[in-house]
């Protein structure tokens, strides 16, 4: 069922409004308010409001009309007797002004304009304009404009009409049949003629710094060489056939003759020219928009490239740093081995040199100093008090005796009653012992740093096979490794029973958990709770969370916490080089996993996700091994002192 035909209403009073309503055979209401009456809209939608504007504010009147009619919004024709209309700007700006008609009008014109408006209203809603005619026969166009008619023709018939008009003056024109790739005009050459393209397609292009650029192809139109019309000048484009074409060449002089002889030529030529230029202009406008969009896209791409470049530079920097560190570690391992061995040789040789038995004061002082822990200042004070009370020695003697490790009153008396240089010898022996002890501690420390560096910088052979590993066992190993650091803390471990085996290199995963546990212990500083959870992920891998209820990692540090050398204890070396979390990340990444951090005061969670054990080459099949396994290869690190002594 076709939609009810749209109606026209006339709004206004006085003779103009009455004449309009009569000509349009339309309902008239005196004021916008009356449009709200149900009777106005019951007969079907209003497609056109003819608003007769007197001296009142035209914008306001139109707005009230549209407000009263609501949806669908009708088109608006403003009818007025005024010659000045300063009060229609808002209506025009809102896109609501369909047209303006000056009263009085030639009888019949208002109806023609109104029908055209209604036809547009219908077309806009997807209908066909014929429905507008209602029961009135369409009025014949009294003064058909040739130009407008031509402009609305399809391009081919417009070209044919131009040719027909030209031939009516010049006689038959020869047609040129052209293959593709024939140039009709050449950029920078003089243009002396036009080409009317009857069939086929032509591309317009220009030479640019980056090669030939096609300006128009679909938008070329049937008329080539338009610039010839504006006087003798060089062609700005090259026109080239892209298909088989049939064209008619016309020199400017021939065209001039045709124009003089037949007015239809002018109309047809103008129409074709306007069409061609507006098609080209539309394409140019679209290109302009595209250019702006591309510029934005380009900027975004540039930013992404910049970020990618920064990432690559950072990667390269880290790789260089890693190689440097590995090189340093390698270079350090030999001297440190020499120091470690040297300390043991010195220690053994000195014992030989000192000779003496168990009760020799000098030897005892040496051995005590070599092994004893540093005494706290408080203990030192009470030892001094006791010794002073028991021996009656001077404060200076007491200080020297205690410093040399002679705290037993009987021994102290032995030293004091011996030869005068005895105390000096005891002190020297204790000094040497203490120095050896410091050297050993320092060498151990450097050795650990070297090992940390080595692991961090030159990780396991990436081609070495991953072993199927029981994850819960690696967690147990880690707890064993850091047991001494967890004193006073509540540690809760929950490993699900159905954990799948994960691929790992011996000892490495335990090292990760140990680092995370140490880190949590550091954060808790002696009291709090650590929770370790391990469960299967949807992807068949394993997620391990190490959570503590410590103060949390400040947001400003969270981004950098996995960087090597990062330590929250400013100036204090932690976990070897402060590499702990960096090493953990390296290991996790080498195992194909991810590590992340979520932290707020009272809840800090490190989450490690490891993928399912890959099957196929590169994986040792078989029963899961425990996580700890044999210690990692220690090439470059000196063997322990015991082995060394046996070799000598």
Partner 1 sequence: MKLVVLVLEDEPDVREALERDLEPLAAHVRVEPAQDVPDARAVIAEVAADGDLLAVVLADHRLPGTSGVDFLVELAGAEETAHVATVLVTGQADQADTIRAVNEAGLDHYVAKPWDAEELRRVVREQLTNVVERTRVDPLPHLAVLDQVRAMELVRRRSG
Q: Fill in the per-residue mask, 81 to 110: x = in contact with partner 1 (CB under 8 A), - = not in contact.
A: ------------------------------
> Is the CB of 101 or the CB of 402 nearer to partner 1?
402
Tokens of 163: 């040719």
Which parts of 458-550 fold into alpha helices (H)? 471-481, 508-524
**Subset of residues 586 to 645 that bind partner 1, contact rule: CB under 8 A:** none
- Give the other-Cβ count within 10 Å of 119's Cβ: 20
**Subset of residues 256 to 295 that bind partner 1, contact rule: CB under 8 A:** none
Pick the closest to residue 597 from 583, 587, 612, 609 (CA basis). Answer: 609
Residue from the set 39, 376, 417, 642 that interacts with partner 1 by CB under 8 A: 376
> Is the CB of 152 or the CB of 441 nearer to partner 1?
441
The helix or strand, by DSSP H or E, that contains position 586, with its residue range, turns out to be helix 580-590
Q: How far is the CB of 558 from partner 1 (least distance, A)?
A: 27
Q: How far is the CB of 421 from partner 1 (least distance, A)?
A: 17
Count of residues of this chain found to bind partner 1 when the rule CB under 8 A is applied:
13
Q: How far is the CB of 571 from partner 1 (least distance, A)?
A: 9
Torsion-angle region of 405 (φ positive above 0: left; ψ -120 to 50: alpha; else: beta): left
Pick the closest to residue 509 from 386, 432, 592 (CA basis). Answer: 592
Q: How far is the CB of 349 from partner 1 (least distance, A)?
A: 24
Q: How far is the CB of 648 from partner 1 (least distance, A)?
A: 31
Q: How far is the CB of 378 from partner 1 (least distance, A)?
A: 5
User: Where does this chain touch partner 1 (CB under 8 A) — which range of 2-10, 288-296, 369-377, 630-638?
Assistant: 369-377
Q: How far is the CB of 564 from partner 1 (least distance, A)?
A: 25
User: Where does this chain touch partner 1 (CB under 8 A) — which range of 51-59, 376-384, 527-535, 628-636?
Assistant: 376-384
> Is the CB of 224 or the CB of 404 nearer to partner 1?
404
**Subset of residues 113 to 172 that bind partner 1, contact rule: CB under 8 A:** none
Q: Could you give the C-alpha distances from 320 to 164, 195, 580, 620, in angstroms and in order?
A: 80, 68, 20, 32
> Is the CB of 567 or the CB of 625 nearer to partner 1?
567
Pick the closest to residue 77 from 129, 19, 135, 116 (CA basis). Answer: 116
Q: Is 143 helix (H, G, I), strand (E, B) or coil?
A: coil
**With contact defined as beta carbons under 8 Å apart, do 549 and 509 qualify?**
no
> Is the CB of 151 or the CB of 403 nearer to partner 1?
403
Q: How far is the CB of 413 from partner 1 (least distance, A)?
A: 21
> Is the CB of 63 or the CB of 375 nearer to partner 1?
375
User: Where does this chain touch partner 1 (CB under 8 A) — which range of 29-37, 346-354, 373-381, 554-562?
Assistant: 373-381
Q: How far is the CB of 345 from partner 1 (least distance, A)?
A: 24
Q: What one-character DSSP code corresponds to residue 266?
A: H
> Is the CB of 381 or the CB of 634 nearer to partner 1?
381
**Subset of residues 435 to 474 that bind partner 1, contact rule: CB under 8 A:** 438
Those residues whose C-beta lies under 8 Å from the C-beta of residue 503, and which sit 6 or more positions away, are 466, 467, 468, 469, 591, 592, 610, 611, 613, 614, 619
Pick the closest to residue 584 from 514, 505, 529, 489 (CA basis). Answer: 514
Q: How far is the CB of 362 from partner 1 (least distance, A)?
A: 20
Q: Phi then psi for 192, rounded to 5 degrees?
A: -120, -10
**Subset of residues 383 to 422 that bind partner 1, contact rule: CB under 8 A:** 394-396, 399, 403
> Is the CB of 388 or the CB of 415 nearer to partner 1?
388
> Is the CB of 435 or the CB of 625 nearer to partner 1?
435
Q: How far is the CB of 396 from partner 1 (least distance, A)?
A: 5
Q: The sheet that has 176-178: what strands, in order across it?
A: 176-178, 245-251, 193-199, 223-224
> Is the CB of 400 or the CB of 456 nearer to partner 1?
400
Interatomic CA distance for residues 246 and 241, integer angstroms: 10
> Is the CB of 303 or the CB of 381 nearer to partner 1?
381
Q: Is 375 in the site for partner 1 (CB under 8 A)?
A: yes
> Is the CB of 29 or the CB of 402 nearer to partner 1?
402
Q: What one-character DSSP code corresponds to residue 234?
A: B
Those residues whose C-beta lies under 8 Å from the C-beta of residue 40, and which sit 6 or more positions away, are 9, 27, 29, 34, 46
Interatomic CA distance for residues 50 and 110, integer angstroms: 10
User: Where does this chain touch partner 1 (CB under 8 A) — which range of 49-57, 158-166, 222-230, 371-379?
Assistant: 371-379
Q: Is 380 in the site for partner 1 (CB under 8 A)?
A: yes
> Is the CB of 375 or the CB of 597 nearer to partner 1?
375
Q: How far is the CB of 380 from partner 1 (least distance, A)?
A: 6
Q: Are strands 245-251 and 489-495 parallel, antiparallel or unpaired?
A: unpaired
Q: How far is the CB of 375 from partner 1 (least distance, A)?
A: 8
Q: How far is the CB of 556 from partner 1 (least distance, A)?
A: 21
**With contact defined as beta carbons under 8 Å apart, do 198 and 160 qualify?**
yes
> Is the CB of 291 or the CB of 569 nearer to partner 1?
569
Q: Is 357 in the site for partner 1 (CB under 8 A)?
A: no
The helix or strand, by DSSP H or E, that contains position 468, with its residue range, turns out to be strand 466-469
Q: The sheet that has 183-185: what strands, in order across it?
A: 183-185, 238-241, 202-208, 211-216
**With contact defined as beta carbons under 8 Å apart, do 629 and 474 qualify?**
no
Residue from the set 142, 378, 526, 617 that interacts with partner 1 by CB under 8 A: 378
- DSSP for 325-364 reads HHHHHHHHHHHHHHHHHHHHHHHHHHHHHH---TT-HHHH
- Burial label for 159, CB within 10 Å (0-12, 13-18, 19+), is buried
The site for partner 1 (CB under 8 A) is made up of: 374-378, 380-381, 394-396, 399, 403, 438
């Amino acid at each position: 069922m076709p939609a009810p035909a749209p109606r026209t209403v006339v709004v206004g009073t006085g003779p103009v409004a009455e004449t309009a309503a009569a000509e349009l055979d339309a309902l008239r209401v005196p004021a916008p308010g009356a449009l709200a009456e149900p009777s106005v809209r019951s007969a079907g939608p209003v497609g056109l409001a003819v608003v007769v504007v007197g001296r009142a504010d035209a914008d306001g009147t139109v707005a009230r009309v549209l407000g009263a009619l609501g949806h669908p919004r009708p088109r608006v024709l403003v009818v007025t007797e005024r010659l000045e209309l300063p009060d229609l700007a808002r209506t025009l700006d809102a896109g609501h002004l369909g047209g303006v008609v000056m009263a009085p009008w030639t009888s019949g014109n208002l109806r023609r304009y109104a029908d055209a408006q209604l036809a547009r209203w219908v077309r806009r809603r997807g209908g066909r304009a014929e429905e507008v005619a209602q029961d009135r026969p369409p009025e014949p166009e009294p003064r058909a404009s040739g130009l407008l008619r031509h402009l609305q023709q399809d391009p081919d018939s417009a070209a044919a009409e131009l040719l027909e008009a030209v031939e009516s003056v010049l006689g038959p024109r020869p047609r040129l049949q052209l293959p593709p790739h024939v140039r009709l005009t050449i950029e920078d050459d003089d243009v002396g003629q036009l080409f009317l393209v009857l069939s086929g397609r032509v591309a317009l292009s220009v030479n640019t710094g980056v090669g030939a650029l096609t300006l128009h192809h679909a938008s070329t139109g049937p008329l080539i060489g338009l610039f010839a019309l504006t006087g003798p000048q060089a062609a700005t484009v090259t026109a080239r056939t892209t298909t088989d074409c049939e064209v008619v060449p016309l020199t400017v002089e021939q065209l001039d003759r045709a124009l003089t002889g037949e007015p239809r030529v002018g109309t047809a030529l103008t129409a074709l020219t306007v069409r061609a230029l507006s098609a080209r202009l539309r394409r140019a406008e679209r290109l302009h928009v595209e250019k702006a969009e591309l510029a934005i896209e380009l900027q975004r791409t540039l930013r992404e490239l910049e970020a990618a470049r920064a990432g690559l530079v950072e990667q390269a920097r880290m790789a260089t740093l890693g190689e440097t560190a590995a090189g340093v570690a390698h270079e350090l391992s030999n001297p440190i081995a020499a120091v470690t061995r040297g300390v043991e040789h010195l220690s053994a040789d000195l014992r030989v040199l000192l000779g003496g038995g168990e009760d020799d004061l000098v030897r005892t002082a040496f051995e005590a100093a070599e092994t004893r822990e540093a005494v706290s200042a408080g203990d030192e004070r009470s030892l001094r008090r006791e010794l002073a009370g028991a021996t009656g020695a001077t404060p200076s003697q007491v200080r020297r005796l205690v410093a040399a490790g002679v705290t037993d009153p009987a021994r102290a008396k032995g030293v004091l009653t011996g030869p005068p240089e005895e105390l000096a010898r005891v002190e020297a022996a204790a000094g040497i012992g203490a120095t050896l002890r410091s050297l050993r501690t320092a060498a151990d420390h450097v050795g650990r740093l070297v090992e940390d560096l080595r692991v961090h910088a030159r990780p396991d052979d990436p081609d070495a096979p991953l072993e199927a590993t029981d994850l819960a066992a690696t967690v147990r190993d880690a707890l064993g490794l850091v047991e001494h650091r967890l004193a006073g803390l509540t540690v809760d471990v929950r490993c699900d029973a159905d954990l799948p085996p994960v691929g790992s290199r011996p000892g490495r995963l335990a090292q990760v958990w140990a680092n995370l546990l140490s880190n949590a212990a550091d954060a808790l500083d002696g009291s709090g709770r650590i929770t370790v959870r391990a469960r299967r992920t949807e992807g068949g891998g394993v997620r391990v969370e190490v959570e503590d209820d410590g103060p949390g990692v400040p947001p400003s540090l969270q981004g950098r916490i996995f960087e090597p050398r990062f330590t929250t204890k400013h100036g204090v070396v932690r976990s070897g080089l402060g590499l702990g979390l960096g090493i953990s990340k390296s290991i996790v990444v080498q195992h194909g996993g991810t590590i992340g951090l979520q932290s707020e005061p009272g809840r800090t969670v490190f989450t490690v996700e490891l993928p399912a054990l890959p099957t196929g080459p590169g994986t040792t099949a078989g029963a899961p091994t425990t996580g700890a396994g044999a210690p990692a290869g220690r090439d470059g690190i000196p063997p322990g002192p015991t082995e060394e002594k046996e070799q000598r």
